[in-house]
């Protein structure tokens, strides 16, 4: 059994947790791209491996962090979503699996 969503989940989590500190504005824009791309990849892998329940996490995550139509909140509000998305990304990465043939 392999875990194809683990790398995107870890990458997104690292960027999300690093965002908890005080970073330049450009970092947050870059992070949005990384997290959105990772969430789309996780969505694709979940659907491909017939674990569509993970779409309830990955699609809203991609929409929340999307850089095209950004959501604006205070730093205190973003902290909650950053931590939840980081934890969810790791959890999805560990749970979405591909059975070896």
pLDDT at position 100 = 57
Whether 101 is in a domain gets the answer: no
Is the pTM above the cut of 0.85? yes
Q: Is residue 42 part of a domain?
A: yes
- Residue range of the domain that includes 55: 6-95
Domains held by the chain: number = 1
Q: Which two tokens stand for residue 57?
A: 């996490």
**What pLDDT, on the 0 to 100 scale, is given for residue 30?**
96
Quickly tell me which residue has 């959105």 as its tokens.
36
Q: What is the pLDDT of residues 59-79, one digit of tens each?
A: 999 999 999 999 999 999 999
Residue 49 lies in a domain: yes
Within-domain flag for 1:
no
Contact 61, 13 (CB under 8 A): no
Kindly state whether residue 100 falls inside one of the protein's structural domains.
no
pLDDT at 101: 52
- Single out the residue of 10, 32, 38, 47 nearest to residue 81, CA to CA: 32
In a domain, 12, yes or no: yes
Whether 58 is covered by a domain: the verdict is yes
| Spans of the chain below 50 pLDDT | none
pLDDT attached to residue 20 = 95
């Amino acid at each position: 059994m392999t875990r194809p969503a683990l790398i995107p989940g870890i990458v997104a989590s690292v960027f999300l947790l690093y965002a908890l500190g005080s970073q330049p504005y450009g970092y947050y824009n870059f992070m949005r791209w990384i997290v959105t791309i990772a969430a789309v990849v996780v969505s694709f892998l979940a659907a491909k491996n017939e674990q569509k329940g993970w779409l309830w996490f990955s699609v809203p995550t991609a929409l929340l962090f999307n850089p095209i139509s950004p959501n604006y909140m205070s730093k205190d509000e973003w902290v909650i979503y950053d931590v939840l998305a980081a934890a969810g990304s790791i959890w999805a990465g560990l749970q979405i699996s591909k059975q070896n043939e």
